[in-house]
């Protein structure tokens, strides 16, 4: 069950974006598994993709198409990753784009394909062909939640966020959906996320906005330390609000970036809250580091420790596991006597060992909560990093052991 998370009740339509979701029969459970986002002509797009060397065929084709044209449509299928499928996978991804282009009236290179699901199986192209033909008849501006459900795999509920920002007296909307619950580890992007705005944005600046937002949102989450072959985060701007052009360092541009980052952060945290088998939502803060890189290194060493994660699941204040993770994060010249470690506001480690005022019941009270903060003071500098993660439960093992069965 997701930790402190429920499906959104109200999602705002984005002028210039229509969505459709149907069941094409890719998933065995007959749930929706094929989604189309149709974009108004003249929309611009920013994207980040996985850096996994075995990137999926749709990632390769999407990158190619972005170099050739501005997208008019995004096609997403769930239930099949089209990864590890060689030349056939590339051909299937290209054919999928051509089929979409035919039914909505655009060029194949104006379609970006995305897939998520089981790796190593070819796309069922007959099912996709039949499904794509039905998608245009289902398009609507208010179908964001249906689309969010249609891209799910092991997610237990849909993840979607809407917000608004005022640009020179014009209200613009930002709405995004994301999927992901396992195989989550930041590496440019970590899952699938599709975010749209009706703001008018200079294209190169839009890419800068996305990189800035992803760095401190999607690239700060981890469930299990595995980076997928299919990760992508796409930001589209239709300009349909009629707002003035955003770019550079003006106040409106800064406000837009702030709201975009908030949307990305809420989506990223939703992924962790719905992590496979998760019963805890954990914030790890490492501050007073010499630089951001070492702060992140310590945070991820804690976040990826199976011993820490299983202690979290058991609500066991086994603080020695956290201490050990900090110690093996490979920081040069680490002075353990200056480090302090906290569970929420409870100091558990100082002066190289257990804090003198710490009592087991204090740690137990914190660890029994659904939401926990682990904070590490390195006292080596002024830099900081925050990472969000989950615990490691019996259900995580069960879900992944039975993933293909």
Whether 221 contacts 186, CB under 8 Å: yes
Cβ partners under 8 Å of residue 371, min gap 6: 3, 4, 280, 281, 282, 283
Q: Please count the CA atoms within 13 angstroms of the CA of 124 that sit on its side-chain side.
A: 17
Whether 343 contacts 363, CB under 8 Å: yes
Give me the phi and psi of 210, to 5 degrees please.
Answer: -65, -45
Question: Among 153, 190, 200, 238, which one carries the catalytic annotation?
Answer: 190
Concatenated DSSP letters for 308-377? Answer: HHHHHHTT---HHHHHHHHHTS--TT--GGG-EEEETTEEEEETTEE-TT--HHHHHHHHTSSEEEEEEE
Q: Cα separation of 96 and 58, whole Å?
A: 10
Concerning whether 190 is annotated as a catalytic residue, the answer is: yes
Q: Cα separation of 114 and 400, whole Å?
A: 22
Whether 225 contacts 123, CB under 8 Å: no
Cα-trace Rg, the chain: 22
Give me the phi and psi of 119, to 5 degrees please.
Answer: -85, 145
Instruction: Give the active site residues.
Output: 190
């Amino acid at each position: 069950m997701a930790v402190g998370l429920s499906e959104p009740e109200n999602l705002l339509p984005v002028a210039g974006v229509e969505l459709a979701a149907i069941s094409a029969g890719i998933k065995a459970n007959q749930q929706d598994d094929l989604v189309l986002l149709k974009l108004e002509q003249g929309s611009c797009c920013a994207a980040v993709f996985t850096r996994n060397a075995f990137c999926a065929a749709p990632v390769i084709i999407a990158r190619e198409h972005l170099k050739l044209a501005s997208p008019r449509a995004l096609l997403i299928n769930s239930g099949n990753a089209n990864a590890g499928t060689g030349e056939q996978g590339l051909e299937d991804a290209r054919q999928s784009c051509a089929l979409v282009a035919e039914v909505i009236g655009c060029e194949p290179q104006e379609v970006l394909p995305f897939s998520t699901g089981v790796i190593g199986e070819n796309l069922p192209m007959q099912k996709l062909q039949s499904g794509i033909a039905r998608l245009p008849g289902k398009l609507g501006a208010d179908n964001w939640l249906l689309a969010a459900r249609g891209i799910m795999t092991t997610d237990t509920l849909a993840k979607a966020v809407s917000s608004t920002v005022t640009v020179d007296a014009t209200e613009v909307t930002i709405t995004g959906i994301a999927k992901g619950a396992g195989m989550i580890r930041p590496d440019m992007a970590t899952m699938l996320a599709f975010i749209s705005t009706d703001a008018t944005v200079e294209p190169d600046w839009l890419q800068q906005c996305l990189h800035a937002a992803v760095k401190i949102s999607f690239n700060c989450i981890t469930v299990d330390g595995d980076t997928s072959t299919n990760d992508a985060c796409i930001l589209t701007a239709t300009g349909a609000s009629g707002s003035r052009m955003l770019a550079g360092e003006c106040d409106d541009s800064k406000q837009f970036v702030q709201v975009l980052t908030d949307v990305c952060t809420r989506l990223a945290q939703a992924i962790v809250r719905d992590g496979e088998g998760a019963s805890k939502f954990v914030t790890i803060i490492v501050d007073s580091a010499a630089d951001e890189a070492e702060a992140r290194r310590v945070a991820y060493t804690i976040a990826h420790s199976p011993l820490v994660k299983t202690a979290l699941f058991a609500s066991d204040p086994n603080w020695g596991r956290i201490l050990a993770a900090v110690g093996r994060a490979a920081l040069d010249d680490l002075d353990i006597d200056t480090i302090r470690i906290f569970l929420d506001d409870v100091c558990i480690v100082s002066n190289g060992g257990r804090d003198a005022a710490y009592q087991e019941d204090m740690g137990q009270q914190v660890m029994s909560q659904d939401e926990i903060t682990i904070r590490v003071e390195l006292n080596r500098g002024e830099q900081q990093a925050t990472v969000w993660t989950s615990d490691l439960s019996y259900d995580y093992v069960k879900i992944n052991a039975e993933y293909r069965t």
